[in-house]
Amino acid sequence: MSSAGEMLKRIQLESRGRQPEQIEDLILDNCRSAGEPEGLTDEFTSLKKLSMINTGITSLKGFPALPALKKLELSDNRISGSLACLKGCTSLTHLNLSGNKIKTIEALQPLSELPLLTLLDLFNCEVTKFPRYRENVFALLPNLKYLDGFDANDTEAVDSDDEEGSGDEEENGIDGNHVENGEEEDDEDDEDQEDGEEDDDEEDGGPVNEDSRNSVEDESDAGSDEEEEEVGLAYLDGDDIEDEEDDGDYDGEEEEEEDDDIDEDEQGAGESSRGVKRKHEEEEEGGENE
């Protein structure tokens, strides 16, 4: 594919059927151009981020006014002409022109009309070789905070994406630490519970597995069966004992009856002997009277 029309086709591809006013981010890196931006128009009114790294651009002629554009990446091109076409990007805060053909401080003059421009990168441009380069650029652009990654006091800049990422990390870190601490506490509770169970097992003579539980249950079942048998035997023995006691009572009654009979016989014999003796005495008294 020739460079002519390649950027336009890339814009159509990145749009994914959306209308220009619906697009906020547009990445055209490594897309070859004919030397000037192609396919960009004033219709991209919502475009906030535009990246055209290493696209072979030599001039910004015809660059449209993009009032919502905040970040523009133009590094590793061959731009050497005027930057006046960027005046219409009034919301621009980040501009990366590193690796281009910017040679003089005067070429940066149009950027002074960008009131929100706070970060400018001219690394590896010829203009950086001028004496007092940094002082002159900060003087030209009073609203500028960071030049080539450092402020006027040589303090390194923090990229806005990094700041957003760090903010998310801090928020996630707070929640993450809270969750991790909660998990650690839960883990500690689980460990304490496991230790307590192990201690109980040790006091009982070691951990009880399923086989031992089954054996204990079998023994308990066997013990209960033996107890039932003993109870049954005891019950039967009790009946025998009661029967024996009843027999004893019966025998005792018979013995008492026999004793009564003997007493009666003895009593009868005594009475008969007394009767014979009395009769004999009467006969003797009758003989004497005669």
Residue 164, pLDDT score:
47
Residue 244's pLDDT is 47
CA distance 149 to 170: 24
| Maximum alpha-carbon separation in the chain | 202
Whether residue 170 has pLDDT greater than 80: no
Q: Work out the percent of the chain whose per-residue pLDDT is above 90.
A: 48
Per-residue model confidence as pLDDT tens digits over 5-50? 789 999 999 999 999 999 999 999 999 888 999 899 999 999 999 9
Tell me how far CA of residue 218 lies from CA of 97, 136, 208, in angstroms: 86, 96, 15
Q: Of 77-91, 137-151, 224-238, which range is least confident?
A: 224-238
- What is 172-219 written as a DSSP string? HHHHHHHHHHHHHHHHHHHHHHHHHHHHHHHHTTS---HHHHHHHHHH
pLDDT score, position 165: 47
**DSSP category for residue 150:** B
The CA distance from 71 to 48, in Å, is 7
Range 173-189 average pLDDT: 49
pLDDT of residue 242: 47
> For residue 218, what pLDDT is reported?
53
pLDDT digits (tens, 9 = 90+) for 224-269: 555 555 544 444 454 544 444 444 444 545 445 555 554 555 555 4
Residue 162 or residue 111, greater confidence: 111
Least confident of 63-77, 86-100, 234-248: 234-248
The tokens of 82 are what? 């005027």
Quote the pTM value.
Answer: 0.56
For residue 30, what are its two tokens?
């490594």
Q: Are 46 and 24 in contact (CB under 8 A)?
A: yes
Count Cα atoms within 13 angstroms, Cβ side, for 150.
7
Tell me how long the chain is. 290
pLDDT tens per residue across span 101-121 = 999 999 999 999 999 999 999
CB 58 within 8 A of CB 78: yes
Cα–Cα distance for residue pair 19/24, rounded to 1 Å: 11
